Amino acid sequence: MAEPAPKLKFLDTALYMLATGLGIRWIAVAAAVGPASLLLWALALFVFFIPLAVAVAELTARYEAEGGIYAWARDGIGPLAGFICGWFYWIALMPYFASILYFLSGLLIAAIGGDPKDTVLYISISVTISLLVTAVQAFGLKYGKWPPSVGIIGGWIVVFIIVGMGGVLSVEGRSATDFAHASYKVPMNFDTAILWGTIVFAYSGLETAGMLRNEIEGGMRTIVRALVIVGVGSIFIYIAGTSSFLVILPQSELTRLGGFPDALRTGLEHVGLGRYAPVVIGLFALSMLGSFVAWFGVGARLPFAASIDAFLPAVFAKRNPKTGAPVPAILLQAGLMIGVAMLSQAGSSVAGAYDFLVAMAVLGSTIPYLFTFWVLIKTVNMPPIPGAWVPPGGRRTTLVLGWLGMASSLVAIVCSMVPSSSDPNPTWAFVKIVISTLVMLGVGLLFYWLAARRKRLAAVAA
């Protein structure tokens, strides 16, 4: 008999959830909007992050099946809702993975002095990174937990360096932003629209606990403690990190794609540590890679769970008996990810492709939260789970947080569809996002219909 696959202990779980729940690169996106972004971080904390944390804690305790967010919608609403929820979540990970690949490739190209407009070089590096990440996760969480753990430690070092630089420059009176006289009015434009969607996306990731529930040692006790750690880390990184970026660089010099490494380099030069810039940027790249590996492992659990329910071919429901890794699902995901990365370059610049990938990732991954908060609201009328964690205020709190999460998710979806004012063809940009979303939905419904038809034919034959 094969030994049981190793499980994630508390420290492993906390580091893994930090890797999926914290997006350090998003603070550059926020800083590009200016000091007003600090208000948006605080607002999203109360209207999205806290509702999502409560939803994860309550629904993970209530639904123990494989698949997390997919199983919650399936068991709480119905099979079709569960499939569409899981389908959107999983497919949205493909452009998210591709956006990370572009980001990491851009850092590597800058490090070697390559041409940032060289599409072939971007794709070559992206495919190489994809294959390495796939190989790591194919060996199971015993090895797949290490890149996220090492990466998040490297990421925290970078954050402390950023905050430290911001503190030094502030004390010396060299802040690039005058916070006392700055405008905190949130502008109604593309940057703000994409920022709200991005902030909601940055605060997401907590639901990964539900997808790994049966692979975590200690069950709900471990998960709740890890959720608290991610919450504290989120507040510090997003608020302190964004403020420090605005101290280091003026808003006009921050960009969505290159703001993070630029601010690191400039800040280090301001404090006389410019020679260490490659090392610090390397730590940042390591944190991005760790987050990538963590999300890649989580994502593969969705087609695995869907295959158990016969919505996908049975081969994707297989695990390696020694490592516990769903290898066929991992390989399927790798192929789709590489394909999306290559197709996203068609007729677009690197920056344009990056913006499109981020918009698609935010849109596709936020739709499943509508299902999640819908299920959370429905739990108010369900019998309580003995011994399960409940928020202060009980069912009334759950109901309020459910509707807050639903509203903030809807706004994020709308914002992710707003075309850039600098886009040469904003109408086409909007149409491309809408068409891509409808295609995603159509393909998902086709898979569901085919699976339902197979089940009906099998029942008749029996």
- C-alpha 9/C-alpha 2 separation (Å) is 21
- For residue 417, tell me if it sits in a domain: yes
pLDDT in tens, 335-361: 888 877 776 555 555 555 555 656 666
- For residue 249, tell me if it sits in a domain: yes
- For residue 1, tell me if it sits in a domain: no
Cα 336 versus chain centre, distance: 17
Burial class (CB in 10 A: 0-12, 13-18, 19+), 97: buried
- C-alpha 439/C-alpha 443 separation (Å) is 6
- C-alpha 369/C-alpha 352 separation (Å) is 26
Q: Are 360 and 197 in contact (CB under 8 A)?
A: no
- For residue 128, tell me if it sits in a domain: yes
User: Is 346 strand, coil or helix?
Assistant: coil
Among candidate residues 28, 12, 25, the one with its CA nearest the CA of residue 148 = 12
User: Is 60 strand, coil or helix?
Assistant: helix
Domain residue limits at 198: 10-461
pLDDT in tens, 402-424: 999 999 999 888 877 776 665 66
Number of structural domains found in the chain: 1
**Quick one: pLDDT at residue 44?**
92
- For residue 73, tell me if it sits in a domain: yes
What does the angle CA 113 – CA 116 – CA 117 come to, to the nearest 5 degrees? 140
C-alpha atoms less than 13 angstroms from C-alpha of 145 in its C-beta half-sphere: 19
Tell me how far CA of residue 80 lies from CA of 63, 71, 114, 207, 316, in angstroms: 17, 11, 47, 20, 19
**Quick one: pLDDT at residue 354?**
53
- For residue 4, tell me if it sits in a domain: no
Token code pair at residue 96: 């998210």
One digit per residue, the tens of pLDDT, for the chain of length 462 reads 445 566 778 888 888 888 888 888 788 878 878 888 899 999 999 999 999 999 998 998 888 877 789 899 999 999 999 999 988 888 888 877 877 887 788 777 776 777 767 777 877 888 888 889 998 888 887 777 788 888 888 889 999 998 988 888 888 888 888 888 777 777 666 666 777 878 888 888 888 888 877 778 777 888 888 888 988 988 999 999 999 888 887 777 666 555 577 777 877 887 788 888 888 888 888 888 888 888 888 888 888 888 888 787 888 888 888 888 888 989 988 888 887 777 655 555 555 555 565 666 667 778 899 999 999 999 988 888 777 778 888 889 999 999 999 999 998 888 777 766 656 676 776 777 777 778 878 888 888 888 888 878 877 776
- For residue 3, tell me if it sits in a domain: no
Token code pair at residue 26: 């998003």
- For residue 378, tell me if it sits in a domain: yes
- C-alpha 340/C-alpha 63 separation (Å) is 32
CATH number of the domain residue 393 falls in: 1.20.1740.10
